[in-house]
Chains A and B, each alone.
Chain A
Amino acid sequence: MQKTAEQIEQDLLWPLFHSSGKYWVAVAVATSLLLAGVAAFGYQLYSGIGVWGINSPVFWAFDITNFVFWIGISHAGTLISAILRLTNATWRRPVTRCAEAITVFSVLIGAIIPLCHIGRPWLAFWMIPYPNQRHIWPNFRSPLAWDFFAISTYLTGSTTFLYLPTIPDFAAVRDASGGLRKKIYSVLALGWQGTQRQWQRLEIAMHIMAIVIIPVAVSVHTIVSWDFAMTLVPMWHSSIFGPYFVAGAIFSGIAALILAMALLRKLLHLEEYLEPIHFENLGKLLLTMSLLWFYFTFAERLTAWYGNSPPEMAVFWESIRKQYAPLFWIMVFCNFIIPVPILAIKRLRTITGTAIASATVVVGMWLERFLIVVPSLEHKFLPYSWGTYRPTWVEDTLMASSFGFMLLLYLLFSKIVPMISIWELKVGLQPHFRVRTAAKVDRKHHGLAMPGPLPTDVTE
């Protein structure tokens, strides 16, 4: 049975005013992970960056892996949401906000990781590339400087893209609450009324944002890939890295979105809104990206193998047959062999099935980032500088805490903002556009309704 506008509003505002026990358990787990990470980071600040396992020549390891992983996860949201908005896919409505929130939080976490790596985060502003009097050359040729511009643009765009369609829902919460909460939401809603001019302007702004954010999202992960591809390191200096990273980012992003939706569905009792069809559609997208990921991985490895360049082959065999072979084959299983059958067989493409496939993809994509970074740095062109890398407990803890931080941000956000856009769902209740257009034409032909008698039920 189709819900009314009133029911939709009640159902979607309910999680903001009520919390289940499961929700608080999830918050406690996420907070514990975050606090463990804060403690590890405090220890690192006190002792120095030497408590990490990084060394010469492996200067980048878990930190850049996490950075690339979280920036990749961010592609779930804004990119998918923008594409679905522009194509006017009606099934997107319950999905978009879940997706856009993932983007903002994962970009934020991704942006924090370099701060941990620099060892002296209080000097982080030295990294900002602008002309200055510290005699620090703003090197606009460096992919790390491009990163700064790309990620800050993406974070600004994603936050705007998340906030704009939330304004009417903030107003809905404002109108449904009282006391301090009402005051806070009045500020967040910016005095939104819902006049027709406001709706028109909001829809135009969302349209422009959707157009702009797609090339930004593609550029961000391309530029992240250029952090590697612009250097002369075996298996990195490759023109395929841009699209390979973008495809991988969308792949991991969709998986994260499915997991987040499955979690919210249970914790916030959104079973009637996040329906099996949404998981099935996203499952199909995940299947497509899994096939695309395999194609890219095969093409990248085949090119290296066919060239048979000794430095590249050293990295190639290290990851396929030697030290990193277990991780490599777990990655292939997680990203391709497990998810493809689950997602290709309709009977298995259920909520549970897509969630399992997504969980394996998240693991597999983290391993993929690790396998891009570490084996290549361990085996550069000059064999005398070869080295090994083992992560320490500090790096393990920071990695785990980034997941806890993401979970915590997401859970807290779900208490502040309706996780499904109320007004967009209400639009879905409206009759088809053609019916309304016909009514408009009919009204024009028949003129105005005659004024009726003086009303007797005017209420004060």
Chain B
Amino acid sequence: MKALYALYAEPEAAQRALDALRAASSQLKFDPRQIVVISGEPHEGYEFTDEHATGIPYRWAVLGAVVGGLSGYLLTTLSQKSYPIHTGGMSLTPAWTNGIIVYEMIMLGAILTTLVVLLIGAGLPNFKGVIADPEVGKGKILVGVVDPPESSQPELARRLQGAGAWQVKRSVTTQP
């Protein structure tokens, strides 16, 4: 995996670079999905981050909670009905106490679903290789294009520079 990218000190500059790359994607013959924006911390209030905002994980968490609760309900009621014992006239499947198990299973369902949805949504684990630059850890924002067409690289570099790049690079660090 190769990339041409630039490092920006300010998020505003990173946003300008992203806009410039998107505007030039058809002219320079690359897919906008090849654009990457990488930072060492999240940024709020910018289009380049807010465009990824989604409510889908919340809905999955609710679904996970429902499945967890249902599992708890089935575990308790089916177990109690499979092994009938004398309860002295009390309910064989008491809602009060079974409710505690169901409650915990609801929470467990939501937790596990959230974890799975995060991993899938964030593309983790990913051991194919990552773009990394030591400057990102120092507060810079990386904006670039993965595997850009060879012919359009000079123009891409010019546009990245024009957005206010601190540095433009062609090298790529790939982790194992």
Question: Which residues of A approach B to under 8 Å, CB–CB?
Answer: 4-6, 9, 130-131, 137-138, 140-141, 145-146, 149-150, 152-153, 156-157, 160, 164, 167-168, 172, 174-176, 182-183, 186, 190-205, 208-209, 212-213, 215-216, 219, 223, 423-424, 426-427, 429-430, 433, 436-437, 439-440, 443, 448-455, 457-460
Contacts and interface: CB of A to CB of B under 8 A. Distances in A.
Given A192-B130, A193-B126, 9 more contacts: A140-B98, A141-B97, A156-B108, A160-B114, A182-B176, A186-B176, A197-B123, A199-B41, A440-B15
Given A198-B123, A433-B44, A448-B19, A459 B169 contact: yes
B interface, over-half SS? helix
10 contacts: A138-B83, A140-B76, A175-B136, A186-B127, A198-B122, A198-B124, A200-B53, A437-B45, A440-B15, A460-B169
A215 B119 CA distance: 24
A5 B141 CA distance: 12
Interface string B39-78: 1111111111101111001100100000000001001101
Contacts of B98: 140
B126 A190 contact: yes
Nearest to B78: A131
Nearest to B104: A149
B57 A201 contact: yes
A156 to B, nearest CB: 6
A124 B32 CA distance: 55
A443 B157 CA distance: 22
B175 interface: yes
Contacts of A209: 111, 114
Interface string B15-50: 110011001000000000000111111111111110
Residue with the greatest number of chain B CB neighbours at <10 A, chosen from A152, A183, A212, A458: A458
Given A423-B41, A458-B170, A200 B20 contact: no
Contacts of B36: 193, 195
A293 B15 CA distance: 52
Nearest to B158: A454
Nearest to A200: B52
A212 B114 contact: yes
A192 B125 CA distance: 8
- How big is the B interface, by class? 35 or more
A454 to B, nearest CB: 5
A291 B27 CA distance: 69
Contact of A191 (B107, B128, B138): B128
Contacts of A191: 123-128, 130, 175
B107 A216 contact: yes
Contact of B118 (A145, A156, A164): A164
Contact of B111 (A156, A174, A219, A457): A156
A interface, over-half SS? helix
B158 A172 contact: no
A455 B157 contact: yes
B151 interface: no
Q: Which 3 A-B pairs have the closest CB atoms?
A: A5-B139, A191-B126, A452-B162
B11 A436 contact: yes
Nearest to B94: A141
Nearest to B173: A175
Interface string B131-155: 1101011110000000000000010
A185 B62 CA distance: 32
A423 B47 CA distance: 20
A6 B111 contact: no
B81 to A, nearest CB: 10
A183 B15 CA distance: 33
B168 A459 contact: yes
